[in-house]
A and B are shown apart, each in its own frame.
Chain A
Amino acid sequence: MRGTVERRRAKAPSGSGRGRARWPGVAARAALAAALAAAAACGGEGGPPGGAGAVPDSARRGGTAVIAGLTEIPGVNPLVPPPGYMASQVERYVLFMPLVQLGPDIGFRPWLARSWDVNDDTTEVVFHLRDDIAWSDGEPVTARDVAFTFRKAKDPDIPFPNRAYFDRWDSVSVVDAHTVRFRIRPYSQFLFGWSQVPVLPEHVLGGVPDSALATDPFGTSSPVGDGPFRFVRHDQGDRWVFEANPEFPEDLGGPPLLDRLVYRVIPDEATAVAELARGDVDLYPGLPPDAVGRVRSDSSLRVVTFPSSTYAFVAWNTRRAPFSDVRVRRALTMAVNRDAMLQAVRNGLGRVSAGPLGPWHWAYDTAWRPLPYDPDSAGALLDAAGWKDGDGDGIRDRDGRPFRFTLLVPDVRIRRDMAVMMQSDLRKVGVRLEPRIRDFASLAGAIQDPSRPYDAFLLSWSEDLVIDDRDYWACDRMGDPLQFSGWCDRALDAVMDSIPRATDRAEKRRLLREYAETVQSAQPYTFLFDEDRAVGMRADLEGVEMDVRGELRTVRSWWLRPGAR
């Protein structure tokens, strides 16, 4: 999913929150190898190695692991908006089963579907389902459930947030109890949607009218699932409790090692970190960067970091002067000491950004370099664009107009600090930045307003693993809410249009790189940095592996050392 990190402060999803549920997905069966290798490299710092091989399964069973999150998981029905970062992981890895899982090579692996056949021209897909999976109320999971889920996802009367996954999926027919056939229009990475959206029980939800789906207790107090864990209870605003599903099939890893898994809402970061240190919380995703040092120094805790697809940026409204001038935009990027900013606000958790494609992505080119921090060159560029300090007041001006602009900033401490650092850097090159702090919903409203009532705004955004960025840059989407910068390029449109159609990996890489380099050189955004995600956890919680696919991916094999149960 794409969206923004600040939204966790708003209601919606927790965690990094990129809005769309397609986040840890990856259809790019491509590698992500760099990201995964990096994740593995930093995976075990500070704690004893997993040691799973040395300890038999029976000795690893038992106990309750507690995950803390800043926001409530409002519901676990994937058909009901809003999509949430933690909610979609619970749906995918805890309560339900998607047809396929993303493997470490970011290919598609059998999950609820034992196998699938695709015809030669990619217009027909047949899934063969497992026949040994049952819903928690005892009913078997069948092809009818798959067809039901698909029909609901396509139902125009349901505001299913991720309908775009199935844009090119046209029709479904049930062949027999465990075989289901789809007609599709060919495109690359077409299985991605089925790795993100789990199959839902028709016998439970089939009788619920569309208009009542959002308020049906299925999503909040009585979900019926088929995943490795079963629902136990949900105390609104407080916790979700799940217990191991003892019938989860052995060849998919068997029942989870934990007896219970609890998600607790702790809306205050300082409180959550304190709970982690006390041992009342076992895992805290989204550890604030300024707490990383403290958690690392505690021998009973460890920190896991991995590259996320989130980047922080400043979007320039190029519909307005002076941001319509590429020299000005490049100058503003080069005037900001982004490395100092990264160290100060994120404790160095990330890398200064070299464009829209981050190092987590398989098409990232390691030869890419960020624009340098170079106030002198920035000054020269501004001079060349006609912005000189004519009246000697320390602020550049042109035609009697001083170079000052307002920057919308989400009301989040880190973002506020970034705005202040940027303000002081820009003052040194004679540009006056005036921050305007906004709560998240106000900011989201303002930047999507068709009248584009802003000079610039600061935000962080999570890129989808399937890169399709036409929403942000395409000329024919100028009126769409996400065309923040108003910058576009007809030649680039052609490149972006061919990305989803490219089936050859090398070709796709070439196109993605061309796309990224074009955007980087035009700087419609100042790309600030690519963020690493930090997770704080108890050292005695073992078997945890995390990468860009999500924190809960391996939750079935988490286990607690005996003292911690």
Chain B
Amino acid sequence: MIRYTGRRLLQAVPLLLGIVTLTFILLHLAPGDPTTAYFNPNIPPDILEQMRRNLGLDRPLPVQYLDWLRSFFTGHFGYSFSQHRPVAAVIGDALPNTLLLSGVSLVLIFVLGCAVGIVQAVRQYSALDQALTVGALTLYSIPGFWLGLMLILLVSTPAVSSWLHLPISGMTSIGHESMGAWGKLRDDARHLVLPTIALGLASAAGVARYMRGSMLEVIRQDYIRTARAKGLSEREVILRHALRNALLPVVTLLGLYLPLLFGGTVVIEVVFSWPGMGRLLYDGILARDYPVVMAATFLFGALVVAGNLASDLLYAAVDPRVRYGER
């Protein structure tokens, strides 16, 4: 198990190096650089040249690349062109916000998805099952940003906002710093509601489809019939005997949904003014802030690799038949 994990981590190194190298090449192939975007006639060409020099953009590309790698391996990531501070500090501000948002979304995806899937499987072909199927398929097809905008419009209509005044942008209210601990927690939670839904609902619908299929397969097995024959209550049969096995294939979905989730944050964080990694990447690309884009792509890549590894290990943990590294 440990050897397997170690091997997977080693394999990730060339992969991530490939990702950042490709990002570096693509960024520099795109026309424009951080100074062209200033685009300001009051800035004479010699000052622009000086800015390029200060940013190290006048050096040959391989030198810039190696320089970035060096700053990367020292954990420093270079300086952000647009924020005038070390990229490590920039990421340090943004990453926790994104992890919070995607973590809560992940919980929503799996808890809601599994619950709906189980209900559907147990009530197969009932009106409820049909309705949930239609609902899930609809949600699964809705792009997150559009869902986000619709949610914002919905809670902003007077009819809704009179009884449900949910914040629609940002992470905290104005005056957050003067709230008590309980008030802060409540304020944070309220700000999480809409972005979490917009980010997670489509994926939750996907998980529900998987869970339904998996559960249906399991409850046709002999040992379920045996469990029922023993006289166990239906609740016990489903939640204790069937669920454990039905969850196995769903656990692997974690690896599948993480890239979707992180990709989703780029759009959702813009719609909901969430100061996280997704917005950092979006703004960074527009401003040609190379060090920020490189670091953000690397981190997203690393998170996806880690998520995949975690889902594989989790699979082994929950399914006794799967063992790694014991040839």
Contact = CB atoms under 8 A, between A and B. Distances in A.
Contacts of A377: none
A164 B42 CA distance: 6
Contact of A162 (B42, B45, B169, B177): B42
A19 B54 contact: no
B273 A74 contact: no
B40 A445 contact: no
A337 B152 CA distance: 36
A5 B42 CA distance: 16
Contacts of B169: 264, 266, 268, 271-272, 275, 280
A64 B42 CA distance: 35
A2 B174 contact: no
A182 interface: no
Given A159-B54, A275-B168, A445-B31, A215 B79 contact: yes
A22 B42 contact: yes
A441 B40 contact: no
B283 A11 contact: yes
Contact of A267 (B33, B167, B273): B273
B170 to A, nearest CB: 6
B152 A445 contact: no
Interface residues of A, number: 75
Contacts of B273: 238, 264-268, 271
A162 B43 CA distance: 6
Contacts of B152: 270-271, 274
Contacts of B43: 19-20, 81, 159, 161
A215 B76 CA distance: 14
B127 to A, nearest CB: 36
Given A81-B38, A237-B94, A238-B171, A11 B44 contact: no
Contact of A9 (B51, B271, B286): B286
A82 B79 CA distance: 15
A280 B173 CA distance: 9
Residue picked from B79, B149, B169, B282, most chain A C-beta under 10 Å: B169
Contacts of B47: 159-161, 163
B275 A238 contact: yes
A473 to B, nearest CB: 12
B303 interface: no
Contact of A441 (B30, B167, B174, B175): B30
A164 B84 contact: no
A262 B270 CA distance: 19
25 contacts: A2-B40, A3-B41, A11-B34, A11-B82, A11-B283, A18-B40, A19-B42, A20-B43, A71-B283, A159-B54, A163-B42, A214-B54, A220-B85, A235-B275, A236-B90, A237-B93, A238-B170, A264-B273, A267-B283, A271-B149, A274-B156, A278-B156, A280-B169, A440-B286, A444-B39
Interface of A: 1-4, 7, 9-12, 18-22, 64, 66, 71-72, 74-75, 80-83, 156, 159-165, 211, 214-217, 219-220, 233, 235-239, 262, 264-268, 270-272, 274-275, 277-278, 280, 438-446, 448-449, 464, 471, 480-482
Given A66-B174, A164-B42, A164-B44, 7 more contacts: A3-B41, A236-B275, A238-B171, A268-B271, A268-B273, A280-B174, A446-B31
